[in-house]
Chain A
Amino acid sequence: MSNNKPIKVALIGNPNTGKTSLFNQLTGLNQKVGNYPGVTVDKKIGVSQLSKNVVASIIDLPGTYSINPTSLDENIVLKTLLHTDHEDFPDVIVVVADIENIKRNLLLFSQIKDLQIPTILALNMADQMDKKGIKIDIALLKKELKSEVVLISARKKQGIESLKKAIANYKKSNIEALANISERIDAAYFKSVKQKFPDFPLYKSWLYITQVEDFADLSDVQKSKIKECKKDKEKIKKYQHKETIYRYQQINNILTKTYHIDRSKGTDLRAKLDKVLTHKIWGYVIFALILIVIFQSIFDWASAPMDWIDEFFANLGAKVKELLPAGKLTSLLAEGIIPGISGIVIFIPQIAILFLFVAVLEETGYMSRVVFLMDKIMRRFGMSGKSVVPLISGTACAIPAIMAARNISGWKERLITILVVPFTTCSARLPVYAIIIALIIPQKRVLGIFGLQGLTLLALYFIGFASSLLAGYILNRVLKVKGSSFFVIEMPNYKLPSVKNIFFTVVEKTKAFVFGAGKIILAISIILWFLVSHGPKKFDDAEIGFKSKVEKVSLDPEEYNAQFASYKLEQSYIGVMGKAIEPVIKPLGYDWKIGIALIASFAAREVFVGTLATIYSVGNDDENNSTIKQRMAAEINPETGKPLFNFPVGMSLLIFYAFAMQCVSTLAIVKRETNSWKWPLLQLFGMGVLAYVAALLTYTILV
């Protein structure tokens, strides 16, 4: 390592150009994911050793087709490049381009180059040149583009050293603009722009003028000048179109001289695969099969690691209690923080497996075909073909799913997707479903093969999907939201997924979940711990109260402890809260104990099971489902003298959990993504009312 400051490099490129592969090649394991201030877009930064004493800090900017953003992610690219004093403002930009689709890739290059920052063009997938019949005159291309051009193959690790060398020599770059926009469009107009902002490259001022958004980093004088220029919207639009056409003309001219492709050499793999994968019958059959495989794997592969995690944290909690002196702090650690962390970590296996599949489907290019197949169907429900990924991801966790909705360019379609994703059966609902199903559905088989319990679970998944579509359908009619529903998606070439890329994607997304949702789940777990372990005056005198209550019965010590814990819970703040809401939930068939579990579920739904375990005094830490189940089955409704968890109550609870918005982390994410409290509140109350009414109906009909 040297003492020199690292060179700041920004990687920019179209989606599907192998930009991320290149980033992984350059940085290896030296990468970290952060957040851009104010937005939840992931910021990937890595360190690359360019030579013995030159180090580069490399930032992987979101993929984009143009510097003019159409989404939150793409906006980052523009912002980073406009703000010269931005902490990520690059010393040098590497534009990554796909050698096969060089024309469109050069459009972005041409825009970037005009910002007059040192820019290198990295032509990726150079190893495919012979196969695809591509010939390039690199020397001439360098001259025409007034830039360094490097042939690379990120996957085959070719050309990486040359690229590193070019980055290290960035100071020698020619920073002349490439496209002379002023001459070709309206010389007088651009001259006046230049006079207004003499310090900026012309294209930079033009970008400030053309963007809808206002930028905060300018001085007041500059701002008012921009505002003045922005007035003539017609003209701006017209000139933007002219600019794009001009850039393409220039690129065409350059490519005619430097680039040759023999089309006859191209393979027709794309056409062959497309024929099957987007076939009117096979296309849907294949998609359905893939979905089944995904869900099956989430269950099968994740169950073992989830059990280990569960056991590990239970043991850890017990150990802490055993080793540390009893007291508030130990209690907070063993009963608040450790279970809280466990509640986050337990979801990692399912989430990682789901992202593994989503990443593979995206890397191979298949996901675009699904979008193509599903767009018309999804539009009936107010969404877009691009809503499929969020809805599938929602079966693991709504948080990353809602973030995945960013790709949807129409605001109304995106908003509806965000609003309905929480209906899909996320993994936090599973433990709740599992225990209630085990309690009320007999272990019978239907038609010899299908287990009745499994079918019930399947039905709940179906309810989840169906209600999200139905909600979309209704919202589409009801919501009056402005904004176009423009849709365009690239159908990339099919390719084999790279193990390295997928590994990094899965790690990155899982991390985003752990640190995004994790903080809130942990915080609420601690609040819950407080509510459970503290209470009004009666709580402090619980021991005396309990002793006088059980005076006449003789209990063995274990039974005594368990019942005492239950008694204490009744006196705690959360017990008081449970009793307070009892009148409201009584019509659904619930008592105050279930009420406590409902309140606790707002941290994360799966807390339901743990809370019930405490309420039904399964006192010790090595609890397992069967003992909780036995306790729950033994619980008697004092009014009827029959088991409390009968079929109607169980069904009512299942339905309640299927619909209710019991997840603070999701609400927080929705607030951030929609930039308003209106939408998360709509979800909370809309879904809450729906859950209540549906559960009420279920109970009333069944009882």
Chain B
Amino acid sequence: MDISIANLKVGEHGVIREVSLKNIPLTLLEMGCLPGAEVELIQIAPLKDPLYIRVNGSHLAIRKETASKILITKQ
């Protein structure tokens, strides 16, 4: 099953498996969302969006829509 960052629960970890070239801007890669990087879901905003994640040492907030395009393997 394809799971993405958007499927994580708060506190759960995963490893990024694939970042789609088509719908993820380069910026996100440059900020650390790379294949092989460990990602942790730190918090979800009160209205269920955006998501607050830690990846490659960076703390970022991204929208659910973007998160659902970053596929991961759950740990």
B partners with A:
yes
Interface residues of A (CB under 8 A from B): 65-66, 68, 70, 100-104, 107, 237-238, 240-241, 244-245, 248, 270-271, 274, 278-280, 283-284, 368, 371-373, 375-377, 385, 409, 484, 486-492
- Inter-chain contact A245/B34, CB cutoff 8 Å: yes
Chain B contacts for A102, CB-based, 8 A: 57
Min C-beta distance of B45 to chain A, whole Å: 6
- Known A274-B42, A487-B66; judge A244-B29 contact (CB<8 A): yes
Beyond known contacts A104-B56, A376-B50, A491-B52: 7 more, CB 8 A cutoff: A65-B27, A70-B27, A104-B57, A245-B29, A373-B45, A488-B62, A490-B58
Min C-beta distance of B22 to chain A, whole Å: 9
- Inter-chain contact A488/B61, CB cutoff 8 Å: yes
Bound together, the chains give a CA A487 to CA B61 distance in angstroms of 8
Chain B minimum-CB-distance residue to A376: B47
Min C-beta distance of B21 to chain A, whole Å: 6
Chain A contacts for B62, CB-based, 8 A: 487-488
- Inter-chain contact B61/A104, CB cutoff 8 Å: no
Query: Can you give 28 contacting A-B residue pairs, CB < 8 Å?
Result: A65-B27, A68-B26, A101-B58, A103-B56, A104-B56, A104-B57, A237-B21, A238-B21, A241-B26, A241-B29, A244-B29, A248-B32, A271-B42, A278-B46, A372-B50, A376-B50, A385-B50, A486-B28, A487-B50, A488-B28, A488-B31, A488-B62, A488-B66, A489-B60, A489-B61, A490-B60, A491-B60, A492-B59
Interface: B49 (CB within 8 A): yes
- Inter-chain contact B56/A66, CB cutoff 8 Å: no
- Inter-chain contact A241/B66, CB cutoff 8 Å: no
Q: Pick the residue among A248, A279, A372, A484 that contacts B34 (CB under 8 A).
A: A248
- Inter-chain contact B46/A283, CB cutoff 8 Å: yes
Min C-beta distance of A619 to chain B, whole Å: 58
Chain A contacts for B29, CB-based, 8 A: 241, 244-245
Q: Pick the residue among A66, A101, A103, A248 that contacts B27 (CB under 8 A).
A: A66
Chain A minimum-CB-distance residue to B58: A104
Chain B contacts for A484, CB-based, 8 A: 25
Min C-beta distance of A106 to chain B, whole Å: 11
- Known A372-B52, A491-B52; judge A70-B59 contact (CB<8 A): no
Interface centre among B28, B48, B52, B59 (most CB of A within 10 A): B59
Chain B contacts for A488, CB-based, 8 A: 27-28, 31, 60-62, 66
Chain A contacts for B57, CB-based, 8 A: 100-104
- Inter-chain contact B26/A244, CB cutoff 8 Å: yes
Chain A contacts for B35, CB-based, 8 A: 245
Chain A contacts for B32, CB-based, 8 A: 103-104, 248
Bound together, the chains give a CA A248 to CA B16 distance in angstroms of 14
Chain B contacts for A104, CB-based, 8 A: 30-32, 56-58
Bound together, the chains give a CA A392 to CA B58 distance in angstroms of 28
- Inter-chain contact A372/B61, CB cutoff 8 Å: yes
- Known A103-B56, A104-B56; judge A68-B30 contact (CB<8 A): yes
Chain A minimum-CB-distance residue to B32: A104
